[in-house]
Structure 1
Amino acid sequence: MTDIRPPFGPEDVEILERETPFQGFFRLDTLTLRHRLYQGGWSGPIRRELFVRHRAAAVLPYDADNGLILLVEQFRVGALEWRDSPWCLELIAGLADKDGESAADLIRREAVEEGGLTLGEMLPVTRYMPSPGGTNERLEVFLGQADLSQAGGYFGQADEGEDIRALTVPVDDIPALLDSGRMDNAASIIALQWLLLHRERIDARWRRR
């Protein structure tokens, strides 16, 4: 098998200067750096902007007994100028902005706030960096066991500007949902495809009847 491990590590990058021109809920850093080159030596100084974010986590609630998943829909400013609607269908998600809060604890809290759900077992799906060329954001994705027989409605923290619609979708509709193009964010696509791949195993584990 081809060795795909990178030949370099953090010690092969030298930060020459770091500035923070903006600090709000998020932070923007400007770094001047240099790094080792594949063919030897070092690069010249390179200037890069880095969007600094808290760790994030997301969950796809799944009811194996009733064959349902739960998704949430809310306004997203990043979708305002290029999408037919800036109200996006996605997973329950949040930022780990509380000291000492694990990704699992964050997701359980967000499930209550965004969907009125108490989650059972949670299974890790993946963790990834959405856009490492410009942000340090890291996202951890889970599948969460839930009773969705009475789920759905309107949720969110009004003091945080949240206005969220939670809705259930039959798990058998996932292929059509993916084909529709409405699920156009990476975490949601990854979680839905993962559930399709592993549904038989998950159903055997979570079904009570």
Structure 2
Amino acid sequence: MNEFNDNDVQLLSKQTVFQGFFKVEEYQFVHRLFAGGWSQPVSREVFERGDAVVVLPYDPVLDQVVLIEQIRIPALGKSESPWLLELVAGMVDKNRTPEQVAHAELAEEAGVVAQTLTPVNQILVSPGGTSERFFFYWAKVDASKAQGFHGLDSEQEDIKVHVVSRAQAYQWLEQGKINNAATVIGLQWLQLHYQEIQG
């Protein structure tokens, strides 16, 4: 499959060109070519956001999914509404493992506890422009305990919990009402695997 790996890239330089809430790095590099030899120097700006965790809270007994809704300002003018229906998610930091972040975000954003937490995959969000990767988990939860408003005041979060049937969530996906990549991926994965989870 892949004939190249990290050893087939030579990093010439890397510098921070913007530092704010997020960071942009400029990479200068050369890489091996499929036809043989090496490329000319390439320059790329990369949005450095860090890695994230995405958790699909699913109750296999009730066949219900816990979704959250919050404002996402980059979706302004790009979606029917900038308030998006999403899976639980949060940024990984150097003080916590992805699993620890997953448990914390389930409590902070949806008010639920994972009875089990199962890793599914690691996914590159948009590797043409950002280094972000997310660790995708599904969490077995009691959906009857999920309700209300959540989020951390310190992060200016305003989150509303929605508990819906798996079928309803998937219908919203097919209708385009759920249109953010992590949630689309998570719900498609669930649609492929819910029978084995329930069994």
Paired with 1:98 and 1:39, the residues of 2 have a C-alpha distance of: 40
Q: Is the 8 A contact 1:125 1:194 kept in 2?
A: no
Percent of aligned positions with the same letter in both sequences? 40
Q: Does 1:184 align with 2:173?
A: no
Write out the 4+ residue segments of structure 1 that deviate beyond 3 Å after TM superposition: none
Paired with 2:21 and 2:171, the residues of 1 have a C-alpha distance of: 37
Paired with 1:178 and 1:88, the residues of 2 have a C-alpha distance of: 12
Q: Does 1:131 align with 2:126?
A: yes
Q: Who is 2:29 aligned against?
A: 33
1:78-117 deviations in whole A, cap 9, x for unaligned?
1012212100110000000242x11111010001100111
Q: Who is 1:42 aligned against?
A: 38
Q: Who is 1:198 aligned against?
A: 193
Instruction: Give the secondary-structure state (helix, strand or coil) at the position aligned to 1:149.
Output: helix
Q: Who is 2:20 aligned against?
A: 24
**1:56-67 matches, cutoff 5 A:** 56-67=52-63
Instruction: Give the secondary-structure state (helix, strand or coil) at the position aligned to 1:178.
Output: helix
Number of matched pairs: 199
Paired with 1:28 and 1:106, the residues of 2 have a C-alpha distance of: 24
Q: Who is 2:87 aligned against?
A: 91
Q: Which runs of 5+ in 1 are unaligned?
A: 205-209
Q: 1:87 to 1:126 in 2, by over 3 A?
A: same
Q: Return the letter of the residue paired with 1:66.
A: L
1:10-35 deviations in whole A, cap 9, x for unaligned?
12111222111112332110111111
**1:134-153 matches, cutoff 5 A:** 134-153=129-148
1:51-100 deviations in whole A, cap 9, x for unaligned?
1122111111111222211000000011012212100110000000242x
**1:42-121 matches, cutoff 5 A:** 42-99=38-95, 101-121=96-116
